[in-house]
């Protein structure tokens, strides 16, 4: 018989503290989502077909080496300036690696809870590996319908020793190959700004690298829940592999109704790239950190696998001086990246509110 979870504490304990996750909840046989997962109406994504689809063709990165180089550069810069999101193909990552990643993610989450729970915060053999559910469960009024395993790269040795057996080979290869692509894209975006940086500075801005595997179990009430709530990413650039299920939405800024979401459709073999808060700050607002969210589905479980890149915590981030000079104003104050990150990870998802921490004339001082 399915447990009742009428008591909110026992639900929280089962899902969060004991590491059963949303997957455990679904496997227990629930037929409707518990109260704790029900989003307020303004956060629900109730009409999967009510949104426009992002219709731009994926950008073909192999064309950077041919006569269409300049067009590809323009397409990347324009996407970063307008939506902060784009898809790429011929990115150099083998398609069988992408398939293996999705299989590895399913294999990891299909394990019994006790095998995953060894990576819960506080229990994990290494601080670089963390298994969990939702975003910040302690602070969220409604939990997100997502479990995840996150693997922060510190060294090959750490990865081989501590990352989960079923994921480590593919996750490490994915992270390394994604880094090459990210560097290419970042160099293009910097050149478009007219900013020249030493290689060591670029390495510092991309010094914190993490690969996550997200698992969204099929949900009995997709109209009431979210897989991930509205948020931007904290760092520089994110690479995302999504499977064929769909459900990723990005908000188009500047629209009058404030609720202008585009669906990013799954494209076989493509990777999604999006701009994070840090790159918006460094570019003095020229590139847009993309607000995005994920809908759940009742049909099948979904996996997605992002690589997050961020500065080293010791870097100071702020608009590039040449841009401040050109724009005549700095839209953001300088801040130690560790402080920006701490603020980001202390608050539940709330769109792009994370940027308020550094917004000039509008910051909640550290
Ligand atoms: O699953 C997705 O498509 C997006 C995931 C995401 O936004 C995140 O992990 O922060």
What span, in angstroms and rounded, lies between the C-alpha atoms of 23 and 7?
A: 19
The pLDDT of residue 253 is: 86
pLDDT at 366: 39
**Ligand 1 pocket: which of 214, 233, 289 to mutate (most atoms within 8 A of CB):** 214
- pLDDT at position 338, please? 97
Q: What is the mean pLDDT of the chain?
A: 94
What separation in Å is there between the alpha carbon of 228 and the centre of ligand 1? 7
Looking from the CA of residue 306, the nearest atom of ligand 1 is 9
pLDDT-derived band at 8 (thresholds 50, 70, 90) equals confident
Q: How confident is the model at residue 232 (pLDDT cuts 50, 70, 90)?
A: very high
In whole angstroms, what is the distance from residue 205 CA to residue 199 CA?
Answer: 10
14-357 sits in which CATH class? Answer: mainly beta
Per DSSP, what are the bridge partners of residue 157?
none
- CA 201-203-208 angle, 5° bins: 120
pLDDT given for residue 52 in this prediction: 86
pLDDT higher than 70, residue 3: no
pLDDT at 6: 65
Alpha-carbon gap, residue 93 to 346, rounded angstroms: 34
Minimum CA distance residue for ligand 1 atom 1: 304
What pLDDT score does 364 carry? 46
Which residue, among 294, 365, 4, has the nearest Cα to 145 in the 3D structure? 294
Closest among 294, 183, 308 to 235, alpha carbons compared: 308
212/117 Cα distance (integer angstroms): 16
Q: What's the first-to-final CA gap in the chain, in angstroms?
A: 49
Count of alpha carbons within 13 angstroms of residue 242, beta-carbon side: 20
pLDDT in tens, 92-119: 999 999 999 999 999 999 999 999 999 9
Question: From atom 3 of ligand 1, which residue's Cα is the shortest distance away?
Answer: 248
Report the largest interatomic distance among the alpha carbons of the chain, rounded to a whole angstrom. 66
Q: What's the pLDDT band for 87 if we cut at 50, 70, 90?
A: very high
**How close is the Cα of 260 to the center of ligand 1, in Å?**
18
Instruction: Give the predicted TM-score (pTM) of the model.
Output: 0.95
Domain ranges of the chain: 14-357
From the alpha carbon of 227, which atom of ligand 1 is closest? 1
Give dist(CA 34, CA 37) in Å, integer: 6
Q: Say if ligand 1 is within 6 A of residue 83 CB.
A: no
Pocket test for ligand 1, best of 105, 246, 292, 350 (most atoms within 8 A of CB): 292
pLDDT tens digits for range 284-298: 999 999 999 999 999
Q: What per-residue confidence (pLDDT) applies to 358?
A: 94
- Give the 3-state secondary structure of the chain: CCCCCCCHHHHHHHHHHCCCHHHHHHHCCCCCCCHHHCCCHHHCCCCCCCCEECCCCCEEHHHHHCCCHHHHHHHHHHHHHHCCEEEEECCCCCHHHHHHHHHHHHHHHCCCHHHHHCCECCCCCCCCEEEEECCCHHHCCCCCCCEEEEEEECCHHHHHHHCCCCCHHHHHHHHHHHHHHHHHHHHHHHHHHCCCCCHHHHHHHCCEEEEEEEEECCCCCCCCCCCEEEECCCCCEEEEEECCCCCEEEECCCCCCCCCEEECCCCCCCEEEEECHHHHHHCCCCCCCCCEEECCCCCCCEEEEEEEEECCCCCEECCCHHHHHHHCCCCECCEEHHHHHHHHCCCCCEEEHHHHHCECCCCCCC
Nearest Cα residue to 305 out of 120, 103, 115 = 103
């Amino acid at each position: 018989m399915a447990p009742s979870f009428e008591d909110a504490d026992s639900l929280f304990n089962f899902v969060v503290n004991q590491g059963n996750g949303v997957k455990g909840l679904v496997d227990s046989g629930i037929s409707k989502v518990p109260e704790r997962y029900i989003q307020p109406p303004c956060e629900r994504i109730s009409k999967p077909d009510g949104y426009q689809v992002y219709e731009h063709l994926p950008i073909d990165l192999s064309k950077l080496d041919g006569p269409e180089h300049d067009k590809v550069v323009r397409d990347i810069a324009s996407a970063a300036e307008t939506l902060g999101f784009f898809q790429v193909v011929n990115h150099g990552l083998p398609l069988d690696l992408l398939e293996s990643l999705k299989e590895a993610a399913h294999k990891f989450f299909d394990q019994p809870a006790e095998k995953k729970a060894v990576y819960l915060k506080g229990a994990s053999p290494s601080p670089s590996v963390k298994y969990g559910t939702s975003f910040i469960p302690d602070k969220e009024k409604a939990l997100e319908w997502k479990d995840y395993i996150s693997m922060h790269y510190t060294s090959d040795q750490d990865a081989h020793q501590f990352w989960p057996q079923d994921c480590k080979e593919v996750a490490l290869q994915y992270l390394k190959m994604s880094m090459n692509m990210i560097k290419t894209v970042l160099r293009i975006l910097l050149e478009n700004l007219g900013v020249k940086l030493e290689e060591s500075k670029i390495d510092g801005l991309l010094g914190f690298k993490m690969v996550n595997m997200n698992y969204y179990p099929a949900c009995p009430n997709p109209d009431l829940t979210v897989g991930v709530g509205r948020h931007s990413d904290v760092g520089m650039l994110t690479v995302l592999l999504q499977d064929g299920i769909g459900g990723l939405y990005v908000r188009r800024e500047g629209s009058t109704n404030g609720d202008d979401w585009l669906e990013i459709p799954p494209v076989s073999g493509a990777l999604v790239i999006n701009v994070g808060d840090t790159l918006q700050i460094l570019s003095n607002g020229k590139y847009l950190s993309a607000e995005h969210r994920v809908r759940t589905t009742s049909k099948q479980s979904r996996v997605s696998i992002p690589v997050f890149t961020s500065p080293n915590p010791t870097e100071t981030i702020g608009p590039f001086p040449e841009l401040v000079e050109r724009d005549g104003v700095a839209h953001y104050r300088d801040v130690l990246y560790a402080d920006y990150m701490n603020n980001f990870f202390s608050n539940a998802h709330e769109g792009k509110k994370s940027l308020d921490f550094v917004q000039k004339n509008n910051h909640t001082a550290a």
